[in-house]
Amino acid sequence: MQKDIATPIRTKEILNKYGFSFKKSLGQNFLIDPNILRNITGFAELTKDSGVIEVGPGIGALTEHLARASKKVVAFEIDQRLFPILEDTLSPYDNINIVHQDILEADLKTAIAEQFTDVDDVMVVANLPYYVTTPIILKLLEENLPLRGIVVMLQKEVGDRIAAKPGTKEYGSLSIAIQYYTTAETVMIVPKSVFMPQPNVDSAVIRLMKREKPAVEVKNEAFFFEITRMSFAQRRKTILNNLTSGLPNGKEKKEIILNALMTAGVDPSRRGETLSIQEFGALSDALLVSFH
Known binding residues for S-adenosyl-L-methionine: 29, 31, 56, 77, 102, 127
Low-confidence ranges of the chain (pLDDT < 50): none
Q: Which DSSP string do the residues of 239-253 spell out, in sequence order?
A: HHHHHHHHSTTTTTT
Provide the pLDDT for residue 2.
Answer: 67
Q: Using omega within 30 degrees of 0 as the cis cutoff, is the peptide bond preceding 135 cis?
A: no
How is the chain split into domains, by residue range?
8-210, 221-291
Closest CA to 124 of 104, 106, 146: 146
Residues annotated within the binding site are 29, 31, 56, 77, 102, 127
pTM of the full structure: 0.93
pLDDT for the residue 292: 78
- Gap between the Cα atoms of 82 and 56, Å rounded: 10
Superfamily assignment of 221-291 in CATH?
A: rRNA adenine dimethylase, C-terminal domain (1.10.8.100)
Any idea what the Cα angle at residue 181 is, between residues 248 and 78, rounded to 5°?
95
Q: What is the pLDDT of residue 130?
A: 82
Give the CATH H-level superfamily of domain 8-210: Vaccinia Virus protein VP39 (3.40.50.150)
